[in-house]
Amino acid sequence: MNLFLIDVDNTLYPKESGIFDLIDAKMNEYLEYVLGMDKITVNKTRLLYLSKYGTTMAGLIKHHNIDPYHFLDFVHDIDISRIIKENTEIAEKLKQINAVKIAFTNAPKKHAEQILNSLGIIDQFVDIFDIVSADFIGKPNKHPYEKIINITKADRYIMADDWEKNLKTAKEIGIFTVLVGKKKSKITDICVEKFEDIPLEIFR
């Protein structure tokens, strides 16, 4: 059995749509207004935590003892429906792919469900492995990859993501990697400019 782990944000829709920019702004707002940081401290803190822990949230949990559920609800409180629309091309591509599909995201399940519903493809996925499923330890940390492999026990894994760091970890543990949104990479197995361009041959 092939198991296809598919990132959601900036992978199943183009980065230019601006969804992640809205989430990014909400993260800054959380640090500034909920935690009381000034703008300069917010930028330095987020860069540090992203570099050291893989996600802003992981650093906030470790150093500020935040409630991760409140943080996730706060930063994903955006109107997705006005930006993300049904995509029949992706839906058809997913139908043709010979693999069980699981959404593998650092976002919460509710956010992933909204994206997949808006794209009209949620019925193509057997599950959503979100940041809560990963015990709030996000990609590129090895923990979520190892946990999902231990749960699913597939014969072969393929992973699509828009971030090379996430795919670097995947490749290190034997997952075939697909970088979405780039023309070349020294890290991943293949690159495609958009999800719809993923070749069906890699699932045979």
Give the rounded distance of the alpha carbon of 31 from its chain centre: 21
> For residues 204 and 202, what is the distance between their CA atoms, to the nearest angstrom?
6
Domains of the chain: which residue ranges? 2-13+85-203, 19-75
Of 3.40.30.10, 1.10.150.450, 3.40.50.880, 1.20.1730.10, which CATH number belongs to 19-75?
1.10.150.450
pLDDT given for residue 81 in this prediction: 87
pTM, two decimal places: 0.94
Judge contact between 115 and 12, C-beta under 8 A.
yes
> For residues 3 and 91, what is the distance between their CA atoms, to the nearest angstrom?
17
pLDDT given for residue 54 in this prediction: 84
Q: Is 153 left (phi over 0), alpha (psi -120 to 50) or beta?
A: left
> For residues 204 and 201, what is the distance between their CA atoms, to the nearest angstrom?
5
pLDDT given for residue 121 in this prediction: 98
Q: Which two tokens stand for residue 96?
A: 């043709």
Q: Which two tokens stand for residue 38?
A: 């000034």
Per-residue pLDDT of the chain (204 residues; tens, 9 = 90+): 999 999 999 999 999 999 989 999 999 999 999 999 999 999 999 999 988 888 899 999 999 999 999 999 999 999 998 899 999 999 999 999 999 999 999 999 999 999 999 999 999 999 999 999 999 999 999 999 999 999 999 999 999 999 999 999 999 999 999 999 998 999 999 999 999 999 999 999
Of 3.30.450.20, 3.40.50.1000, 3.40.50.620, 3.30.565.10, which CATH number belongs to 2-13+85-203?
3.40.50.1000
Q: Which two tokens stand for residue 68?
A: 């991760």
